[in-house]
Amino acid sequence: MTLPMDTSQDCLRAWEAMPWVLQESATPEQSEWLKGHLAHCESCRAEFEQQNRLRLAMSLPTDVRVDAHAGLQHLMNRIDAAEHDASPYRVRAGNWLARGLVAAVLIQAIGIGVLGAKLYSYGEKPVYRTLSQQAAPVGPGAIRVVPDANMTLTDWNAVLHTLHLQVVAGPNDVGAYTVALVNNTANTQQAVQQLRATRGIRLAEPIASTP
Instruction: Kindly list the residues in this chain that would bind other proteins in the complex (CB under 8 A).
Output: 1-7, 12, 15-16, 19-20, 22-25, 42-43, 45-47, 49-51, 53-68, 70-72, 74-76, 78-79
Calpha distance 154→149 (Å, rounded): 13
* Shortest distance in whole angstroms from residue 100 CB to other proteins: 27
* Shortest distance in whole angstroms from residue 84 CB to other proteins: 15
Of 44 and 165, which CB lies nearer to other proteins in the complex structure? 44
Of 85 and 124, which CB lies nearer to other proteins in the complex structure? 85
Planar angle of CA 52, 54, 59, nearest 5 degrees: 95
Of 41 and 204, which CB lies nearer to other proteins in the complex structure? 41
Helices 42-58 and 9-22 pack at an angle, to 10 degrees, of 30
* Shortest distance in whole angstroms from residue 87 CB to other proteins: 14
Calpha distance 53→155 (Å, rounded): 140
* Shortest distance in whole angstroms from residue 88 CB to other proteins: 19
Of 50 and 193, which CB lies nearer to other proteins in the complex structure? 50
- At 205, which helix (H) or strand (E)? strand 201-206
Calpha distance 100→94 (Å, rounded): 10
Helix (H, G, I), strand (E, B) or coil at 135: coil
Of 19 and 100, which CB lies nearer to other proteins in the complex structure? 19
* Shortest distance in whole angstroms from residue 77 CB to other proteins: 10
**With contact defined as beta carbons under 8 Å apart, do 196 and 204 qualify?**
yes
Calpha distance 157→177 (Å, rounded): 13
